[in-house]
Chain A
Amino acid sequence: MSRSKEALVGVVILASVIVVTFGTLWLQGVTLAATETEITAVFANVGVIRPGNPVKYRGVRVGRVREITVDPGGELVRVVARIQEDTPMPADAVAILAPESLFGDWQLEITPRDRFPEYRYAQPDDPDHLPGYAIPDISQLTATADRISADIEILTERVGIAFSEETARNVASLIDNVEEVTQRLSELVSQQAGAFTDVTGEIQEATQRIGEAAASARMSFDQVGETLSREELARILEDLAVVAENTREFSGDLDETGSELRGMAARADSTFARVNVLLAQVEAGDGTLGRLLQDPAIAMEVEGTLQELQLLLEDIRENPRRYLRLSIF
């Protein structure tokens, strides 16, 4: 065995040890040059965080998770991480475990508490430890969705119970009614469509007639135009002159008649004046008629005379032979 062979074996072994050692440290994120410090955060649970997962501050990778242990009391989980010593730590810093992406890789993020004040952070016993909160992972969300689906299933069963046979019949009846109403509406629409068609036809007919009337009017206007343009207009004007002359003569006759009427009115006026005088005498009790109207005794006498005359006439009617005797021979 030559010494060079032995040296070669030593080189291979040394190279392998170096590769394994430094490779492991490098893949773990251990930087020998940088100084690191250790932080501890406590959580109620840690989701799927594992040693080696990155620690980030404001999105910048500043370290790695080193160790995860359950607290002896069993209430909390302590996560130890190594971060760069110069990492600025907020006064109210908290640690949040959250998925780094959708593919199962998680991270520990150091953030001020007021960024997510709504989270229920686990409270550490040691004031140097950070309160922590783990955002529910997809399995927990799936479990929640599973519970929701179970609730929906129960709800569906209850709806199924509530949806009895009678309800089904009612719904079927309702559907039938709706179908009937729909059918009637359809018929109504059809009828209205027919009426509309009729109206449309009538409108078309009226339009046609209006068109024809317009054509006729146009023809009449044309005829009038032709008439006005021909000699008939002169003849009509002459006839109108004759009519005007006759009217004028009739108007003269009317003037004469008016004169006669005016004379008759004057005579009537004088007659009425005399009647007035006569009536005034009557009212004054002058003359026979005046006394008759004004004197009650005369009136009573006249009335009595009339009654007696009436009695006489009745007696004559009943007993004509008493007063009238006819003898021929």
Chain B
Amino acid sequence: MTRILSQPFISMGRGATLLAAGIGRWGMLTAETVRALRHVDVWLRLLVPQMARVGVDSVPIALFIALFTGIVLSLQASYTFTGAIPLYFVGVLVGKTMMLELGPVLTGLALSGRVGANIAAELGTMRVTEQIDALETLAYPPVAYLVVPRVLASIIMFPIVTALAIAVGIAAGWITAIQLLDMSTAEFVNGLTLFFLPFDVTYALIKATSFGFMVATIGCFFGFHTRGGAEGVGHSTTRAVVVSSMVILVLDAFWAVTLL
């Protein structure tokens, strides 16, 4: 009876311990990544290919999401504002929402599924096939070779992809407002510029950069610590996507609290 009653507490304590251990290992990997930045000759030649994989290859899916997000935002804004609120506030809502929230977050979530899963699966496979062990055996810094280029590529390309997604989303909302809502370009642009602040762009880029860093480091972490065979790779991939998605949402709230 006592065992049954104490089991939830035991599970909770064990989970907290595992979480703390995971965070600690992630912190250690991050610190090692920072230290590995000195191996420029190792990671630099791998950076551009990783930027292509992380950023350029992710542009279509990011723009696709942003396109329909802008359309839906414009339509829902006009639906909400029908009546007392002037329609030029559609521009306000589309611009502000795309820049401050949906552009960075949706792009981050999309890229966490694509990039984070890719990194975790790739590194996990290398781990279970002992390729990483071989690098260590050859005294080749695996973190500088495998982690640093991916993390740096994500840090660089996430804001770039996010900026393009924001632009496409706003453009989609603009075209929707003109074609479907009988708004004029002047009305939409008036709303778009009404409450615009340069900090909105800075805020979006800061969020996107942080999302890129977390998605890449979490993907590398779960890939580096993959155990078992193919099942372990799948498990690590899933966990990488889930955790990075959760972290993106937590970071989104964190930046809203600290920067706005």
Q: Within B21-52, which residues are at the interface with A (CB < 8 Å)?
A: 48-49, 51-52
- Whether B167 pairs with A23 at a CB distance below 8 angstroms is yes
List B residues 186-222 near A (Cβ within 8 Å): 192-198, 201, 205
**Chain A CB within 8 A of B142 CB:** no
Q: Collect the chain B residues with CB atoms within 8 Å of residue A15's CB.
A: 164
B108 contacts partner chain A, Cβ-Cβ < 8 Å: no
Interface-side segment among A1-9, A132-140, A293-301: A1-9
Interfacial chain A residues near B193, Cβ < 8 Å: 27-29, 52
Q: Mark B81-99, 1 if CB is under 8 A from A, else 0.
A: 0000110010000010000
Interface size class, chain B = 20 to 34
Within 8 A of A (CB), among B44-98: 48-49, 51-52, 55-56, 59, 85-86, 89, 95
Q: Which residue on chain B has the smallest CB distance to residue A27? A: B196
B163 interface hit (Cβ, 8 Å): yes
Once the chains bind, are B55 and A9 in contact (CB under 8 Å)? yes
Instruction: Across the interface, name the chain B residue whose C-beta is closest to A22.
Output: B167
Are A103 and B49 in contact, with the CB atoms below 8 A? Answer: no
Q: Which residues on B sit within 8 Å (CB–CB) of A16? A: 159-161, 163-164
Contact (Cβ within 8 A) A1 B52: yes
A30 to chain B, nearest CB (A): 10
**Among the listed A5, A50, A103, A105, which residue makes an inter-chain contact with B52, where contact means beta carbons less than 8 Å apart?**
A5
If A12-B55, A12-B164, A20-B163 touch, whether A27 touches B48 (CB-CB below 8 Å) is no
The reply to whether A1 and B164 contact each other, CB–CB distance below 8 Å, is no
Given that A27-B95, A103-B86 are known contacts, is A19 also in contact with B167, CB under 8 Å in the complex? yes
Q: Which residues of A have CB within 8 Å of B167?
A: 19, 23
Q: Are A50 and B56 in touch, CB under 8 angstroms?
A: no
Instruction: Kindly provide the distance from the CB of B150 to the nearest chain A CB, expressed in whole angstroms.
Output: 15
- Check B196 against A52 for contact (C-beta < 8 Å): yes
Q: How far is the CA of A15 from the CA of B168 in the complex (A)?
A: 12
Query: Are A1 and B192 in touch, CB under 8 angstroms?
Result: no
| Interface residue? A13 (CB, 8 A) | yes
Interchain nearest-CB distance for A151 vs B (Å) = 31
State whether the Cβ of A51 lies closer than 8 Å to any Cβ in chain B.
Answer: yes
A-B contact count (CB 8 A): 65
Which residues in B have their C-beta under 8 angstroms from that of A5?
Answer: 48-49, 52, 56
- The answer to whether the Cβ of A101 comes within 8 Å of any Cβ in the partner chain is yes
By the criterion CB–CB under 8 Å, are B59 and A12 in contact?
A: yes
Hey, what's the 0/1 contact readout for A36-80 against B, CB within 8 Å counting as 1? 000000000000001110000000000000000000000000000
Whether A20 pairs with B52 at a CB distance below 8 angstroms is no
CB distance B201 to A23 under 8 Å? yes
CB distance from A27 to the nearest CB of B (A): 4
Residues on A with C-beta less than 8 A from B89 are 103
Q: Which among A9, A19, A103 is the interface contact of B51 at CB below 8 angstroms?
A: A9
Report the Cα distance A18→B98, complex, angstroms. Answer: 18
Q: Is the CB of B59 within 8 A of A50?
A: no
- CB-nearest residue of chain A relative to B59? A12
Is B164 in contact with A6, judged by CB distance below 8 angstroms? no
B48 touches A105 (CB 8 A): no
- Distance between A321 CB and nearest chain B CB, rounded to angstroms: 152
What is the CA–CA distance of A177 and B107 in the complex, to the nearest angstrom? 81
How many angstroms from the CA of A41 to the CA of B11 in the assembled complex? 65
Q: How far is the CA of A140 from the CA of B257 in the complex (A)?
A: 27
- Contact: B197 with A20, CB < 8 Å? no
* Nearest CB on A from B89, distance (A): 7
Check B164–A52 contact: CB distance below 8 A.
Answer: no
Min Cβ gap B69→A in Å is 16
B160 CB contact (under 8 Å) in A12, A52, A103: A12
Q: Which residues from A are CB-within-8-Å of B163?
A: 16, 19-20
Does the CB pair A13–B49 fall under 8 Å? Answer: no
- How many angstroms from the CA of A294 to the CA of B89 in the assembled complex? 147
> CB-CB < 8 A to B86: which residues of A?
101, 103
Q: Mark B153-174 against chain A: 1 for CB-CB distance below 8 A, else 0.
A: 0001101110110010000000
Assembled-state Cα–Cα distance A103/B56 (Å):
41
Using Cβ atoms and an 8 Å threshold, which residues of chain B touch A12? 55-56, 59, 157, 160-161, 164
**Interface residue A24 (Cβ < 8 Å from any Cβ of B):** yes
Q: Are B192 and A9 in contact (CB under 8 A)?
A: no
Give complex CA distance A317, B55 in Å.
184
Chain A residues whose C-beta falls within 8 Å of the C-beta of B56 in the assembled complex? 5, 8-9, 12
> Which residue on B lies nearest to A5, using beta carbons?
B52
Our pick among A20, A51, A101, A105 for the contact of B201 (Cβ within 8 Å) is A20
Q: How far is the CB of B42 from chain A (nearest CB, A)?
A: 15
Whether B95 pairs with A6 at a CB distance below 8 angstroms is no
Q: How far, in whole Å, are A37 and B193 apart by their CA atoms in the complex?
A: 20
Contacts of B51 in A (CB 8 A): 9
Return 5 A-B CB contacts under 8 Å, by A number.
A12-B55, A12-B164, A20-B201, A20-B205, A52-B193
With A6-B52, A29-B193 known, 11 other A-B pairs at CB within 8 A are A5-B48, A9-B48, A9-B51, A20-B201, A20-B205, A27-B192, A27-B193, A28-B196, A28-B198, A52-B195, A103-B89
Binding site for B on A (CB under 8 A): 1, 5-6, 8-9, 12-13, 15-17, 19-20, 23-24, 27-29, 50-52, 101, 103, 105
The 7 A-B residue pairs whose C-beta atoms are closest, nearest first, are: A16-B160, A27-B196, A1-B49, A19-B167, A16-B163, A20-B163, A5-B52
